Structure formats: C-alpha cells, structure tokens
C-alpha cells in the first residue's frame, strides 16, 4: 500500500488482500457461490424441469426468497382470505339492528305496562325498549335477542353456520365489547355446539337474556322518561282528537 507521496507503508504486504489459500477474497466468494448453486439445484425431491429451491424464476412460489414477489399462490390465498370477510360483512348487515314499524297507538303503549311479553311482541315496543336500554348501556341484550330471532328463520346450512359464528363473536365471546351476561353452563353448551351449529344453538342463551331483561330492565323502563314521555305525548294527541 502506498502513501500519498508514493511511498509504501511499513508492514504492508502484497498478500494482504488474499486468504491463506492464495485466492483473493472476492474470488473465494465467487468460488463458494458456484459450489452452492449446484447443491441447491440438485436438492432431493426437485422434479425434472423445475427450478431448485434457490431459483427465483417466473414460477417461484412458496419457496421464493423475498416477500415482495407476486406469486400466483399468494394472490389466490389473498382472494380466498377475503371471501369469508366479504360474506361475513354482508351477513352481519342482514342481522337486524332496528325494526321498521308504524308509530305505536295509545292502546299499544298502555298494553306494554301489562306485561313484558306484550312489550316484546310488537316492533314498536322493542324499538322503544331498545332506546331505553341504550341509555343504560345494555343495548347488546336486545341486539342479541333480535339476532337469535333472525337466525331461527334461516334454512341454509352454510348461512346458519356463518351467522352463528358472527353472533358468537359479537355477543358470546369474552373478547367482544358487546358480550352478554350468560352463566358458565350455557356457554359450555354453546361452545360444544359451535362445531356444527343449528339455528337453535343460542336458544338457551336467548331465553336467559330475555329473562334478564324482563326482571332487571323492564321495571325500570316502565318508570323511565322514555316510556312516560311517549305515553304522555300519545295521551295529549288522543285528547286533542
């Protein structure tokens, strides 16, 4: 090695850029690569005419070295992964979150005070009760009950399985923010039956939530501003008529 003024540094050797075998370091790397390439191409199990594991030809698939390639298998997998998501989104949209109903009459609203069953039998009653549950942050109880009613109407096995999975994820799973309150026995039965769900898989859970709303929320609803304001409004309209 020479200095800026043309001299040589002490200790510099012409063999400094070589390895013990006498080959330059760059040449040794080339030699190692040549030795590795045949081994990769001749790997056991490689079919004739197909590139080895180290090849990155146009047919590279699951064994390609980089993750930025556009393998056909990855495209197919991505499409398959998206299909259930799209189907689940459409089926989730089919589950009722609000019911169309005419405005309740004074007679209907008075009947709601007679029993919880008379409240729940009409869409207008369910909507009014759900509005109240929202103020108590327990709207998920009504949503779960309605989803179960919708599931019972299904006859297609595939749709039943997908809707059951959606209902489970939304209202049964302990990871869901909308989890409803169920006892351990009911949860265990549901977990076992989720292997092959039917349209009645949530019947016990639905009854338990119905009973909870009846005993806990319904009495407070009858004393709430939601019910009293509606009753007063309809009474005034009846007098004016």
Contact 206, 221 (CB under 8 A): no
Beta-carbon count within 10 A of 165 CB? 15
CA distance 221 to 41: 76
pLDDT at 121 over 70: yes
Q: Which residue has the higher pLDDT, 147 or 12?
A: 147
Instruction: Say if 227 falls within a structural domain.
Output: yes
Number of domains, the chain: 1
Task: Note whether residue 51 is domain-resident.
Answer: no
pLDDT value at residue 156: 96
Q: Which domain holds residue 126?
A: 106-238
- Give the rounded percent of residues in the chain with a pLDDT score beyond 70: 59
Residues above pLDDT 90, as percent of the chain: 55
> pTM for the full model?
0.62
pLDDT, mean of residues 20-26: 48
In a domain, 111, yes or no: yes
CATH code for position 182: 1.10.167.10
Q: Indicate whether 15 belongs to any domain.
A: no
- Mind listing the pLDDT tens digit for each residue in 176-186? 999 999 999 99
Helix ranges restricted to H, the chain = 25-41, 72-94, 106-112, 116-120, 123-135, 139-152, 157-167, 184-193, 203-212, 218-222, 225-240
Could you tell me the two tokens for 204? 């016990």
**pLDDT at res. 12:** 44
**Banded model confidence at residue 11, pLDDT cuts 50, 70, 90:** very low
């Amino acid at each position: 090695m020479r200095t800026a003024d043309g001299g040589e540094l002490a200790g510099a050797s012409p063999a400094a850029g070589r390895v013990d075998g006498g080959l330059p370091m760059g040449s040794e790397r080339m030699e190692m690569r040549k030795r590795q390439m045949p081994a990769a191409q001749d790997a056991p199990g490689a079919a004739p005419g197909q590139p080895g594991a180290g090849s990155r030809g146009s047919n590279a698939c699951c064994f390609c070295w980089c993750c930025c390639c556009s393998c056909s298998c990855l495209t197919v997998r991505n499409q398959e992964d998206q299909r259930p998501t799209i189907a689940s989104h459409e089926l989730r949209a089919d589950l009722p979150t609000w019911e169309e109903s005419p405005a309740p009459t004074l007679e209907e609203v008075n009947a709601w005070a007679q029993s919880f069953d008379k409240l729940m039998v009409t869409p207008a009653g369910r909507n009014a009760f759900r509005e109240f549950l929202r103020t108590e942050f327990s709207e998920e109880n009504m949503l779960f009950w309605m989803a179960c009613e919708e599931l019972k109407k299904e006859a297609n096995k595939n749709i039943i399985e997908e809707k059951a999975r959606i209902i489970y994820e939304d209202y049964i799973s302990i990871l869901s923010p909308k989890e409803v309150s169920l006892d351990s026995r009911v949860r265990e039965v549901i977990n076992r039956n989720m292997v092959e769900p039917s349209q009645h898989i949530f019947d016990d859970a639905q009854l338990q939530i119905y009973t909870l709303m009846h005993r806990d929320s319904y009495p407070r609803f009858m004393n709430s501003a939601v019910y009293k304001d509606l009753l007063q409004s309809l009474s005034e309209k009846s007098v004016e008529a």
